[in-house]
Structure 1
Amino acid sequence: MKVQYETARIADKFILKLQGDLIGDESGPKLVELVSDSLNDGIKVCIIDLSQVRYISSSGIGVLITMLTKMRNVGGEVFLTSPSEHVKKLLIITKLNNIFTVYDSLEDALSKIA
């Protein structure tokens, strides 16, 4: 199932809730565009909720890294929340857990990110 998404804005944070498989198909550029749009709106914090993501391919990882690069290039940051066990393992294997700050839940992230 290709990835579906919902967006929200809480204060000065852009929330991106993903659902399905993040495989970097035609949805990849769209997701990156959403992050670019939020930057254009002056938002420097993006929280990506992975609670409903079953699978991430190497292309999907590329999409996450592209979003992170865009944010960091302007002094922003991307945070990941609620990865499943499978996605957590993937983040560890790819060492992305050292690049991204990962929170157990969206609520946890919102309470800890200034």
Structure 2
Amino acid sequence: MKLESTVTKDIVYVRLQGDLIGSPDSQQLIELVNNSINETKLLCAVDLSQVRFINSSGIGVLVSLLTKFRNRGGEMVLINPSEQIRKLLIITKLNNIFTVKETDEAAASYLIQS
């Protein structure tokens, strides 16, 4: 998995590419989020548009990230997940927990208002 992050207007944008399967890359993602929270960045948008596959470990990582942000009064959204990931969110009923937006702009608008 390839990971890239930027901060724009106090929103941490995390762009993932490849497979989110709970490998050592997931630990890098969690550390990135921990560092962001320590720097008081409490809004996050995770771009899943380039993620091909996600398994239960990958879902666990996303739930962990969401929990970290919400426990500190922040929020996280998912940007443009593939159809496979959307179906997985529905099957696991996590579509009721995660907010999904189609674009960076829609995610930013939602996060700023939350």
TM-score higher than 0.5 here? Answer: yes
Q: Percent identity?
A: 53
Structure 1 residue 90: Cα displacement: 0.9
Unpaired segments ≥5 residues, structure 2: none
The size of the alignment, in residue pairs, is 112
Match of 1:42 among 36, 40, 43: 40
Structure 1 residue 59: Cα displacement: 0.3
TM-score after normalising by structure 2: 0.94
Structure 1 residue 107: Cα displacement: 2.2
Q: Secondary structure at the match of 1:80?
A: strand
Equivalent position of 1:83 in the other structure: 81
Rounded to whole Å, the distance in 1 between the matches of 2:110 and 2:38 is 24
Equivalent position of 1:30 in the other structure: 28
Equivalent position of 2:90 in the other structure: 92
1:34-56 per-residue CA deviation (whole Å, 9 max, x = no partner) reads 11100011100010000000110
1:27-83 per-residue CA deviation (whole Å, 9 max, x = no partner) reads 111101111100011100010000000110100001101111111111111110101
Q: What is the RMSD of the two structures over their aligned residues, measured on CA atoms?
A: 0.9
Rounded to whole Å, the distance in 2 between the matches of 1:112 and 1:96 is 18
2:71 pairs with 1:73? yes
Equivalent position of 2:6 in the other structure: 8
Q: Secondary structure at the match of 1:83?
A: coil
Unpaired segments ≥5 residues, structure 1: none
Q: Secondary structure at the match of 1:113?
A: helix
Rounded to whole Å, the distance in 1 between the matches of 2:89 and 2:49 is 14
TM-score after normalising by structure 1: 0.94
